[in-house]
Structure 1
Amino acid sequence: MSALLKKPVKIALVQLASGADKAQNLIHAREKVLEAANGGAQIIVLPECFNSPYGCDYFPEYAETLLPSPPTKEQSPSFHALSAMAVEAKAYLVGGSIPELNTKTKKYYNTSLTFSPTGELLATHRKVHLFDIDIPGKIKFKESDVLSPGNKITILDLPPYGKIAIAICYDIRFPELAMIAARKGCFALIYPGAFNTTTGPLHWRLQGQARAMDNQLYVALCSPARDMSASYHAWGHSLVCDPMAQVLVEAGEKEEIVYADLNNEKIEETRKGIPITWQRRFDVYPDVSAGEVSLEDEV
Structure 2
Amino acid sequence: MPKIAVLQMTSGIDPEANCAAIERGAKEASEGGAGVLFTPEMSVLLDRDRKRAAPWIASNAPALMAERLAKAARDNSIDIAVGSIPVGAQDSAKFANRTFYFSAEGSEPVTYDKIHMFDVELSTGETWRESNAYEAGRKVVAVDQTPLGRLGLAICYDMRFPALFETLGSRRCDAIAIPAAFTKPTGMAHWHVLLRARAIEASAFVIAAAQVGKHEDGRETYGHSLVVDPWGEVLLDMGGEAPGLAFCDIDLARIKEVRSQVPSLANRREIPN
TM-score for both structures, normalised by structure 1: 0.84
Distance, in Å, in 1 between the alignment partners of 2:39 and 2:108 is: 15
Q: Deviation at 1:248?
A: 0.2
Q: Is the 8 A contact 1:139 1:198 kept in 2?
A: no
2:54 alignment counterpart: 60
Letter of the aligned partner of 1:259 in structure 2? F
Q: Check if 1:11 corresponds to 2:9.
A: no
Matches within 5 A, 1:23-42: 23-42=16-35
Q: Is the 8 A contact 2:56 2:62 kept in 1?
A: no
TM-score for both structures, normalised by structure 2: 0.92
Q: Is the 8 A contact 2:36 2:78 kept in 1?
A: yes
2:252 alignment counterpart: 264
Distance, in Å, in 1 between the alignment partners of 2:212 and 2:23 is: 16
Q: Structure 2: where are the runs of 5+ without partners?
A: none
Matches within 5 A, 1:62-141: 62-63=56-57, 74=61, 76-102=63-89, 105-141=92-128
Farther-moved stretch of structure 1 (100-109 vs 83-92): 100-109
Check 1:62–1:205 CA distance in 2 against 1; reply closer, same or farther (3 A cut): farther
Question: Aligned with 2:18: secondary structure?
Answer: helix
2:40 alignment counterpart: 47
Q: Deviation at 1:161?
A: 4.3
Q: Deviation at 1:188?
A: 0.4
Check 1:242–1:100 CA distance in 2 against 1; reply closer, same or farther (3 A cut): same
Question: Aligned with 1:245: secondary structure?
Answer: coil
Identity %, equivalent residues: 29
Q: Deviation at 1:274?
A: 2.0
2:227 alignment counterpart: 240
Distance, in Å, in 1 between the alignment partners of 2:226 and 2:73 is: 22
What is the root-mean-square deviation in Å for CA atoms of aligned residues? Answer: 1.9
Once the two structures are superposed, residues 144-194 of structure 1 have per-residue CA deviations (whole angstroms, 9 ceiling, x without a partner) of 111111101111112554211111111111111111111112100101111
Matches within 5 A, 1:273-284: 273-282=261-270
Distance, in Å, in 2 between the alignment partners of 1:181 and 1:241 is: 16
2:210 alignment counterpart: 223
Farther-moved stretch of structure 1 (221-230 vs 251-260): 221-230
Q: Structure 1: where are the runs of 5+ without partners?
A: 1-7, 66-71, 287-299
Q: Is the 8 A contact 2:181 2:222 kept in 1?
A: yes
Check 1:16–1:121 CA distance in 2 against 1; reply closer, same or farther (3 A cut): farther
2:182 alignment counterpart: 195
Q: Deviation at 1:104?
A: 5.1
Aligned length: 270
Q: Is the 8 A contact 1:238 1:250 kept in 2?
A: yes
Q: Check if 1:172 corresponds to 2:159.
A: yes
